Amino acid sequence: MSEKKEKNGKTVSKTAIAIFSIAIGICSAGAAAQGANTWRCGNTYSDQPCEGGRTVKVDDRRSDEDRRAADAGTRSAQTQADRMERNRLSLEKAAHDRDQRAAREARSAALAERRLAMAEQRERDRARKEANAPRKSSLSFSSSPGADAPERKKKKRKSAD
């Protein structure tokens, strides 16, 4: 009952057709009781004639039991349609939430990647600056010989006795 047909670029479900048919039947039953004609004007029905309209026979020969069964079928179809709509909406909400979460995670990952790239660039710049800086001498020289030099103890040689 949930099959859909393509008609004039619009999607029409069997449920909608059934509801529309029942509504027309109910409207036409009242008009037939009054002895009025029903006119079809394109895709609409009216109790007044229109240009290019045709009269439609609207006598409903169904029994009361058939009408009640049709009404019960319509109510059942509407209940099922409402349930399906709630299900679709919940699935759409879950998909939207999932997409939003993925987008947040992607933004967070991109930000972390940019921070890491900037930190690596700063480290390369620091290393390049350090490599280009003049190096300090490891020995210290002063104007007087031995003034700043620490005194060294001479090792005693062992005698060959």
99 occurs within a structural domain: yes
51 occurs within a structural domain: yes
State the pLDDT at residue 31: 47
Instruction: List phi, psi (to 5°) of 13.
Output: -95, 160
75 occurs within a structural domain: yes
Domain range holding 29? 4-123
Token pair for 124: 């390369």
160 occurs within a structural domain: no
Alpha carbon distance 75, 78 (integer Å):
5
State the pLDDT at residue 34: 53
State the pLDDT at residue 2: 45
Alpha carbon distance 50, 129 (integer Å):
90
* Distance, first Cα to last Cα, the chain: 120
62 occurs within a structural domain: yes
92 occurs within a structural domain: yes
Per the CB < 8 A criterion, the answer to whether 53 and 40 are in contact is yes
Per the CB < 8 A criterion, the answer to whether 40 and 54 are in contact is yes
Residue 77's CB is within 10 A of a number of other CB atoms, namely: 19
Per the CB < 8 A criterion, the answer to whether 58 and 31 are in contact is yes
135 occurs within a structural domain: no
161 residues of the chain, pLDDT tens digit each:
444 445 554 565 777 777 877 877 776 655 445 556 888 888 888 888 888 888 888 777 888 899 899 999 999 999 999 999 999 999 999 999 999 999 999 999 999 999 999 999 999 999 999 888 887 776 665 655 555 555 666 667 776 65
Token pair for 84: 């399906």
pTM: 0.39
- Domain tally for the chain? 1
